[in-house]
């Protein structure tokens, strides 16, 4: 009788261990705030360049793409991230800043995911290639 009870208890314990649990929800990264752009599309930004992204509450995105200010939205779900620039000012700057600005604006819509590594925010494309490296200001 005791042997049968032990067998039944073991089976019940085994079945309980095999039950699936609800998937763990991945928490959003803490990206709110202003981030200095260190690198865009594999090229470092010009020293003392004002290039930055600001992730505000409720998905609002603002920043400076080296020469001009821009605005738009972002969508963050876990590590999935989409940047949706909507418009910018249209000042003319020196050629080097204009080229850098173009790189920043070209890669922003390609961002699909974000990852924190060594205090840096790495923004990656669909191929898992890091296209923007940001540091917290």
Query: How many domains are contained in the chain?
Result: 1
Structural domain includes residue 20: no
| Residue 123, burial from CB neighbour count under 10 angstroms (0-12, 13-18, 19+) | buried
Classified as helix, coil or strand, 29 is coil
Structural domain includes residue 83: yes
Structural domain includes residue 21: no
Structural domain includes residue 12: no
Structural domain includes residue 81: yes
The per-type count for the chain, helices as H runs and strands as E runs, is 2, 9
Structural domain includes residue 19: no
Domain that holds residue 94: 26-136
Structural domain includes residue 58: yes
3-state helix, strand, coil in the chain (%, to 5): 25, 40, 35
This prediction has a pTM of 0.79
User: At which residue do the structure tokens 């949706």 appear?
Assistant: 84
Q: What is the pLDDT of residues 13-62, one digit of tens each?
A: 454 444 444 454 556 799 999 999 999 999 999 998 999 999 999 999 99
Q: How far apart are the C-alpha atoms of 111 and 91, rounded to whole Å?
A: 25
Structural domain includes residue 17: no
Contacting residues for 55 by C-beta, under 8 A, at least 6 apart? 31, 32, 33, 35, 61, 74, 76
Q: What is the pLDDT of residues 113-132, one digit of tens each?
A: 999 999 999 999 999 999 99
Q: State CA 91 to chain mean position distance.
A: 28
Q: How far apart are the C-alpha atoms of 53 and 39, rounded to whole Å?
A: 12
Average pLDDT on 58-69 reads 96
CATH code for the domain in which residue 94 is found: 2.40.128.270
């Amino acid at each position: 009788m005791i042997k049968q009870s032990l067998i039944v208890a073991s089976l019940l314990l085994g079945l309980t261990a095999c039950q699936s649990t609800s998937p763990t929800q991945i928490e959003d990264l803490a990206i709110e705030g202003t981030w200095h752009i260190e690198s865009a599309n594999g090229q470092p930004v010009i020293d003392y360049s004002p290039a930055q992204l600001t992730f505000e509450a409720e998905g609002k995105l603002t920043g400076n793409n080296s020469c001009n200010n821009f605005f738009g939205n972002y969508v963050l779900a876990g590590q999935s991230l989409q940047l949706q620039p909507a418009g910018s000012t249209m000042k003319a700057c020196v050629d080097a800043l204009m080229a850098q600005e173009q790189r920043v604006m070209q890669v922003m819509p390609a961002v699909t995911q974000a990852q924190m590594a060594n205090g840096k925010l790495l923004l990656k494309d669909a191929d898992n290639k890091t296209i923007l490296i940001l540091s917290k200001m």
